[in-house]
Structures are given as C-alpha cells and as structure tokens.
Amino acid sequence: MVTRRLRRLSVPLLVAATTAGALAGVAQAEPAPAFVLEDGVTQPVYSYADAIRESVWVDLGTDLDADGETDRMAVDIVRPAEPAAAGQRVPVIMDTSPYYLCCGRGNEAQRKTYDENGEPLGFPLYYDNYFVPRGYAVALVDDLGTNRSTSCPDGGGPAMTGASASVIDWLNGRATAYTSATGHETADADWSTGAVGMIGKSADGTVANGVATLGVEGLRTIVPIGAVSSYYHQHNANGAWGGYAPLRSGPPNLLTPRAYELCEPFFQDLETRFDDDGNWTRYWAERDYTRRADDVEASVFLVHGFTDQAVPSDHLARWWDALSEADVPRKLWLTQAGHVDPFDFDRERWVHTLHRWFDRWLLDIDNGIDDEPMVSVERAPGSWTDEAGWPAAGARDVTLRPSSPGLLSTATAPAGDAAAFTDDPEQDRWVWAADPDQPSPARVLFRTEPLESELRLSGSASVTVRASSTTSEAVVSAALVDYGPATVHDYLNPGWGSENLETRSCWGESTPSDSACYLDTALSLQDVDHHVLASGTGDLGHWATLWRQLPLRPGRAQTITFDLTAMDHVVPAGHRIGLILAGTDYWRSAAPSQLPTVTVDLARTSVELPVVGRTLDE
C-alpha cells in the first residue's frame, strides 16, 4: 500500500445505514439516511424517475467573449429528491465536456436533451442512471463556449480549468449561480456536501487533470480516462510541430455560433503566445499539468490505453510519474486497447471498481479499496494482471544498439557505421514496420536475433540518435516493434479496439427520456505478424533546447534523445524486437519545408528498453 499524504477533509462524514432494509425501517418522522450500505457498497434506494433535474449557470466573473456580460458556465444537474426533502446533502459526480451538443459521449454518442422549456431530460452516459439512486448527484457541465455556456475556451489554460473550479466553488457555497443564462435569480447548492469527483474521457478527463492542479477545496477525486497531461506534448513532439493550432482544431460545430463569432479576437490574441515551430513557450508551460502535480489535493484514478492514438500513452507516463513523485493517492488501469472508455472494454469490473472508488473518496466509506493492488495491466487482450505499481517492480534500462546490416544488439557498432533515410511525410510507423526484409528509402530498420526466452518491457523506452541532415530542418521518428505472430486489439478501427453488439445491458434505472440500457460491446481483435509497441518523434533542430529551434548545418551531426510512448508488453520467445528510424510520422508532426536525407551515426545511436527480469544477453 502506498503511503499517502494527509488530506484536508472538508466534507463531514454522513450517517450510513448498514442494510437496504434499514431505509424501510426508519420512522416517517425521521430523515432517511443519506446513503445505505450493504455488502460494503452504497445501494440503489432512491428513485431515479422522481429525481430533481435542474440547470444552473455559474458566474465566472470574466468576460472573455467581450459581450459586456460576465461569462456563465451551464451546469445540468440530476439528484435524488428524497435526501433533499429530508434536508440532507449528497456528493457530486461531475463531468465537464465540450461534446454534449456537437458529438455526444460514449459508444452511442449520446447528447444532452431538454424539454420545451429547456429543462434537462437526457443525461449522457450511465453516471446518472447508476449513481443517483445510490445517493449521488451528477452534474454535467458544458465547457466554455459550448452548448449552453458562454465565454471562450483557451486551449486547456487557466480560463478552462478555472471555470470548472468555479462550479466546484459554487457546490461549496463559494460562488454564485443563476437559474437562467441571462437572468438574475440566484441558485444555491444547499443540497451538496461539497465533495466532488470529476470524471471523463479525453477532453473531459483533461479538464479534470487541470482542475486538480489548482488544489480547489472540495475536489476529492478525479478519474481521467485517456486524458491529456500536457498540451505541448499533445500538439508538438519534442520540438516537432504537430501541424495545427490547438484553438482551431476539433470537430465541426464544437463551439456555439455565438462563440465562433465573439471569440475570434480572443483566439487571435492567444495564438500570438505559442509558436508554430515546436518551440516550448510560457503558453505551453501554463498548460503542462505535470509541472503542478505537487498542488494536487485530490486522489487520482487513471485509465489509459497503450495504443491510444488520440492521446498517446506518453501523457499517461508523465502524469503518473509526477503524481507518484508527489505521493498523490492514486490508482491505475492500463489497457492494450486504444482511446476507449473501460465501460466499453470491461464493463462489469469497471462499474464495480468505480462504484467503490467514489464510495471511498466522496462518502468516506472505508471499503478497503486503498489496500488493494494499485495497478491493473492488460498484458494481452482480455487478460489482466494486478500489480503493486507501474512500471513493474525491478524494471531497469537495457541499452540496445543498431549496426549494419540491420542488426540490433547490446554490441556497439564500429566507428563510421552509418545508415540513411529520406523523409517521406506520406508514411507513418505502420508503413515503416511492414515488410521488414524489404529495403525502403524512407526508413532504416534493425532487429534482434529471435529471443531465446520471453522478455517483458514495462515503462517508457527512450532513443538517442546522432544524425546529420542535408537541409536546415529535420524530423527524426522512432518506432519499437515486436516482430512475430500475435492477436492484438484492432486499435485503429472506429471503436479503437472495441465494437458494439446488438444486445443491450442496463446499468441503473431508466426514464422514457434517459435509458440506462446500453449496447453491449466486445473486444475487436486482429491477427498480425508484427505489432508496433511504442513510438516517438523529435526535431533535430531542437537538439540543444526546446525553447528555440536552431538551423541545422547540412552534414553536421547533432544528437537528440526523446522518450517513446509507454508500454507494458511481453515479447514471446522466438520473436524479434525491431527498432525503426525514419522522418516525419504524419500522425505526430508536420514535415519540414524541404524534405531532407538524414544520415544516422549508428555507433552513437541507441535505444534504452525498460526490461523486467532477464535481459537479452542473460
């Protein structure tokens, strides 16, 4: 069990009954218990159909869209009526998202729905259906400039994190909210204990990460799923520019028409603060949450996929390391699938675990979840292992080196040994990894001999490349590959490794406007003869510093080192480990204006693998 720092508990413990029968046995003159326990978990004793559904608009005290009115953030709430009638308070599960109108949430792309008076009817996802009957409120928050919120998003900066923090402040009696978007009738959160747990996948989980670094009182836990931990690393790659502006990327109709019109001056001003050449700036430092992990006062339950292409797993590795260093109470699920919510790859186990996690951190129920293994890792599709930590205990760096002709081993290449590739921005790591026995001008490929015994890799590999370019700019990418037959998640399919079935299962209670029954899912698998384990990209012109891109002198070698995406993988005996070096990977960066030929000094190039147990030469 990890030693945890003492936390300020701003929420009083609630009185709990020990059985569902206790609720029925309470005299009508007495208030009903705020929650009921049976078998160590809260029970569904409150009516979802009769729950209170309401909307409030939290005053942010800013006017980023310059319309002359203070910005307001829309919050749709559903909460059990019985505790409210008894004068008792409930904790809050909160999901801030930009996607409630444009794109929807979950495997069925659910959107918010309202009646003819604008009152909320349909709440996306299962949180409301499952947790409201158990004594929780659920608050779904429209992020800045989306759906029914005003203001302007600032690309994960202080405006967006501060706005959600203001909602938590309102839930704790420290901020003002109104009953309408433009009116002046105030709304109180006198039904809230002030204990808040934020949850969400992708952008939703990213907001939770950012709000946690503010140390806002009342935020007791966050559950980020496939979330960004640093916007620099989402839009750039070790000095290589990602090729798009973070404030203008995203799905069509992400923002409201009003926001697109009014926020244009705000966006133009913000975009002067970051460079389009991959340089690290104060703008990016402000949006790197890992730098403020010491300020996190909430517990953190992370979920991430090693093959996530929307939010690569290096985000997970940096955030987890920072939280571990800060001794934040934490838990981790790691899957071999892609950008997938665990509700869609291990539904029953996930809901049960999340239920106990919220009971522990929002209701202070001592259910033993803190004493269980901290980490669950999916080693192979559908095969999970519980461990005390991650990377695995005993993981250590083992250095492998490339040499001609296409060898990867612990031996150093002779001086002068070199290999060259020409940047082809139409290719990517999967193209490079195919046909390893066929030469390609776009990449150089090196492989070990077949392994005599299986080899576990747990953590983040890093590459050091010494290379020269024929032009003043050059991008270098690296990929680590397991060459050998396997069955893996089809993580590039539309479901990122999961697929919907025709059957449904129910998770909570329903109303005619909000069903608790969701399409079942199954793992989407494919048989392969090789598998890309990890990858990364860097700009050779940032060899000295990320703050500035330096022009390369053609023919003069420079050295860069960068991490690859995180992994936890067992390479079977008989397989070969491959290292690929190439130019632009169009999934991660834009191409240089002139495509270079890059010559790699193999004697001064290497990859460090996080190996558990026996090494390749033992």
Mapping DSSP onto H, E and C, the string for 16-72 reads: EECCHHHHHHCCCCCCCCCEEEECCEECCCCCCCCCEEEEEEEECCCCCCCCCCCCE
- Cα dist from 503 to 131, 175, 349, 386, 500, whole Å: 23, 44, 19, 30, 9
Give, for 317, the enclosing helix (H) or strand (E). helix 314-325
Token couple for 368: 């033993």
User: H helices of 529-569, where?
Assistant: none
Cα–Cα distance between 284 and 236 in angstroms, integer? Answer: 10
308 is a catalytic site residue: yes
Q: Which of 339, 355, 489, 569 is catalytic?
A: 339
Cα–Cα distance between 64 and 67 in angstroms, integer? Answer: 8
Instruction: Give the distance, in angstroms, between the CA of residue 436 and the centroid of all CA atoms in the same chain.
Output: 32
462 is a catalytic site residue: no
φ, ψ of residue 294 in degrees (nearest 5)? -65, -20
Scanning the structure block, which residue is given the tokens 């985000």?
A: 315
Are the C-beta atoms of 122 and 110 separated by less than 8 Å? Answer: yes
Closest by alpha carbon to 82, among 41, 129, 34? Answer: 34
Token couple for 385: 């292992």
Are the C-beta atoms of 16 and 36 separated by less than 8 Å? Answer: yes
Cα–Cα distance between 224 and 331 in angstroms, integer? Answer: 11
Cα–Cα distance between 24 and 239 in angstroms, integer? Answer: 63
Cα–Cα distance between 58 and 75 in angstroms, integer? Answer: 7
Q: Which of 151, 166, 192, 202 is catalytic?
A: 202
Q: Which of 204, 308, 314, 346 is catalytic?
A: 308
235 is a catalytic site residue: no
The torsion region of residue 118 among left (phi > 0), alpha (psi -120 to 50) and beta comes to left
What residues act catalytically? 202, 308, 339
